[in-house]
Structure 1
């Protein structure tokens, strides 16, 4: 007779064992497990980037040509296109979430990305390379791989000019989708057929019935025009009366600059200096330098009158390397 917790312990052990064996199997089997693909190997980002085109078939990679070769050898059609970057362009970190987040991890990370990294999700190409469920601790362990879009934009633009459109970034732990439109003939055929069917349906509509409907609508508009004119005059009078009140309300919604300045002075640490501060239409922007810019988001999130603080540009170091240069945007609440 099995003990009460035997099945649960066995499931936890199996989940752990699979998470440990997955990278080991990848190392043992090597490229034989990788799909056939055209690989754009970047040695140095551009434009123009330096690198080569590789063809992977049945796990074996073959050199086709350099990226800037006058005549590149063509690859078989319909192969997926992967982009392989230098290691210094790919960033990764381990993160831990509650186990319940496993149902919709990508949506959760989409909203929490600016808390986990100095960037918002729209500023990154990102993907999850591995995950492990710790049911005993009720935790989900993930490895997040990211590439800032700004770092890759010149290279992608140059590749597009050369008619090279990668769909994924391939790295040692997995792949990151680039969200770049790729050719999908079957989907395009379906969409084309749907458009043709829709056009035929529109042409088959009874035009005479539409004309009668338009005439009836025109008659109703003409009959109600006097009442509409009176209503418009009343609306204009009400708008003029409320304009002053609306102006006061709009100014109040933008926030009290002195109160916001006092809150920032209290929240920001002594090792932080602001070079520029502006408040416009309820949006607060600030530029400056700090010994540790990454912690500023958490500090500003705790300010009652500020909401959704985030970096508007990558954090960089000063010339002397003693401080971080940052640019932050936040919404001001009432």
Structure 2
């Protein structure tokens, strides 16, 4: 089951490995890990984080190789076994370089894709174009080499290549399913990397949570202040309305003559032969009065002499009263408006 899974995910692992190997992100990650490892005590670093010594061996093997278990063996293949090309591709191909190279491989090599073990690595960028180093080797050539190394008890960690000048290309043609398992200290380093990554993510999440908490607290404070301002504005508006109403009532009250002055004025206007049975003064300045008079028909003319009343009119008809011998009347008038501006 494990072999099937590794075989199925081998292309994906190879693609990720080629994109990660030699990238700026990998260099920054290694530099950061080195900084973290430097903070550990020397005894801990020597025991748990000991760096494997890289040992380069060339093909063909001339002599038996005696390698220690801690050595990281890298086999280099000569240029005559490799297909090396430098390609110019659009920068958009960087999104999935291995897939693009896989589909276009038959354009650059005379062999089908399933017969080749290949690696593509970005070596430069020029505007909208990138320079890609394509290195491929036939599987039927690579596999016997790997079998020969395995027959001598060599555990290869990588397979590099050399150009025509004998310089290493900095690639890894070793199939993913044939790479050795990581040792304990390497696994510990991997665990340390995962822990560091988890701590970084946790710090970011905590920082974002704290920032969100502060933002929510500020938002609540702003909402509370906005409610306070709204309440103050409502109180101010209510106070203005109350003051206006009080001022209006005071003006209305000051504009109307007093009840005593109205009674004195009516007494002088109506005469001694008239008495009032009912008198009503409304808030709007309307005056209603009813009573009996010896000369009820002359009351309209008499009330024109009233200083506090105007627009006097009969309300209903004049009816004689058989008991008193006088005329019963009902009048409606208004308080004079000139009284509003009176001192």
Does the pair score TM above 0.5? no
Select the structure of larger CA radius of gyration. 2
TM-score, normalisation: structure 2: 0.34
TM-score, normalisation: structure 1: 0.35
Q: Which has the higher helix share?
A: 2
